[in-house]
Amino acid sequence: MNVIALITGTVLMVLILTTGAFAAGPGFSGITANADTAETVVNNPAGMMRLRKPSIYGNPLILYTRSESEITASGTGRKETISNSSFVALPGLYYAHPLGDRWAVGIGPNAAAGLGTTYDDDWAGRYLLKEWSLTFVGIAPSVAYRFDEKLSIGVSVPVMYSQYTYEKAVFNLSSTADDGTFELEADGWGVGVNVGILYELTAHTRFGLVYRSKVSVTEEGTPEFSDLTPAREQLLNKFGALNQDISVETSTPQVVTVGVFHDFQNDWSFSLDAAWVDFSEWGLEDLQIGDSEISTRPGNYKDIWGATLGVNYEFTPEWTTRSGAFYLSSALDEEDRTAFTRFDQMWGAGLGLEYTFKNERTLSFDVTYLQFGDGKFEVQDVPRAGDIEGEYTTNYALVFGIGTTW
């Protein structure tokens, strides 16, 4: 038996802090005010005004995830250890183009990742969930304007496509009958707006503020049932649930980030960012299959607070070390976690090395460690299993990044 955690915590971090494809430095540092490469197109579009010539930033990533859970079912006394490790590759490419001294335009990925979980067919909680995934793919055209030598503003319009898949076993109302299966595929489009401000107090100190609107997507699809007993099929069909179109509301949350960057002019620099996430309004819903109906149940999410710190040291004109750390509070209290969503607090740290060529092109390498917490959950009265408890004993990821500007 295994479980595939599709980088849930990592992707959550991206949606909260960058809404890009893992932009920013090691430990997700330097999000709001660094504005030193074209990735600022999505991090803070106002930062494009600091780029004096057309710029491209490439940032491909490799993610390694490792998790191990212990699951206990009270009704059967069955204890399971579920483990998984996987590699995922993600691209990243940003472009910014100044239009004179006052205007700049750019484009970059607003989101290019997914999250979810897959369990084996015979696990104790299969009537709760066998598989779900939520993917976001988006792009954000951006424009920026400089009011004066200190103040710039930028706006981007993220356009997102989202796809939602969900599968669970169906209890056929008999302890001797085999399971049925419920499957749903739904997709949809959404549009939002991001507004960024950059204030350059001096040539070495700048402040940033970014507001990202909620991007809501209504995903519609018709579920497919298989292996139902005649009695179960008749019951669902009698109340119109068998061929019922289902709409699932998903979204990226509303976010506000503030940040500061300062160069001490002694080879050291630092950045500090803080984020508030309106996660209590996040739109991800679980699906419940009753005896005669299918319903959606929103999660009891709560707002999230997060912070990142970055420290850089230039030990030669060509070589710079970069480091960062972050913390995010939990989106769910323990009593509100389920097999569907097991969000916990997250923290991590990263280290990187950057080389600057004589033509000002750069090449960087970095790695970030992310810890996703124990994700404890408990669900009561599951058919054939009784109460189910679960806990991660191992739950982390490593993000390996390569960045280059030209």
Give pLDDT tens digits for 98-127. 999 999 999 998 765 566 677 777 888 888
- Please provide the DSSP assignment of 181-199 as one string: EEEEEEEEEEE--EEEEEE
Least confident of 33-37, 156-160, 280-284, 303-307: 280-284
The residue among 29 and 7 whose pLDDT is bigger is 29
Confidence of residue 7 (pLDDT cuts 50, 70, 90): very low
pLDDT the model gives residue 37: 92
Is residue 314 within a helix (H) or strand (E), and if so which, with residue range? strand 304-314
Q: Which fold has domain 3-405?
A: Porin (2.40.160)
CA 71/CA 175 separation, integer angstroms: 22
Neighbour count for residue 32 (Cβ, 10 Å): 32
pLDDT the model gives residue 55: 95
The residue among 135 and 362 whose pLDDT is bigger is 362
**Alpha-carbon separation of residue 9 from 233, 315, 404 (angstroms):** 37, 34, 26
The residue among 236 and 386 whose pLDDT is bigger is 386
pLDDT the model gives residue 18: 47
Q: What pTM was computed for the model?
A: 0.86
**Do the beta carbons of residue 373 and residue 393 sit within 8 Å?**
no
pLDDT the model gives residue 20: 46
Token match 């004109």: residue?
317
* Arithmetic mean of pLDDT, 23-47: 89
Q: State phi, psi for 41 to the nearest 5 degrees.
A: -50, -40
**Do the beta carbons of residue 162 and residue 190 sit within 8 Å?**
yes
Mean pLDDT, all residues of the chain: 84
- Please provide the DSSP assignment of 325-357 as one string: EEEE--SS-GGG--SS-----EEEEEEEEEEE-
| Alpha helices for 163-302 (secondary structure H) | 230-238
Share of the chain above pLDDT 90, in %: 41
- Which span out of 60-64, 124-128, 202-206, 254-258 was modeled with the highest average pLDDT? 202-206
CA 256/CA 179 separation, integer angstroms: 45
pLDDT digits (tens, 9 = 90+) for 147-196: 999 999 999 999 988 888 888 898 888 878 899 998 888 888 889 999 99
On the question of pLDDT at 61 being above 50, the answer is yes
**Alpha-carbon separation of residue 156 from 44, 75, 227 (angstroms):** 9, 52, 47
Q: Per the structure block, which two tokens stand in for 51? A: 């780029």
The residues, ordered by sequence, that sit 6+ positions from 234 with a Cβ below 8 Å of its Cβ are none
pLDDT the model gives residue 8: 44
SS3 label, residue 251: strand
CA 90/CA 92 separation, integer angstroms: 7
Beta strands in 35-179 (DSSP E): 55-58, 61-73, 78-90, 93-99, 103-119, 131-146, 151-156, 159-170
* Arithmetic mean of pLDDT, 213-218: 83
Torsion sign, CA atoms 29, 46, 204, 93: positive
pLDDT digits (tens, 9 = 90+) for 250-295: 777 888 999 999 999 999 999 999 999 888 877 665 666 665 556 6
Least confident of 175-189, 302-316, 321-335: 175-189
On the question of pLDDT at 79 being above 60, the answer is yes
pLDDT the model gives residue 284: 63
pLDDT the model gives residue 325: 95
pLDDT the model gives residue 296: 65
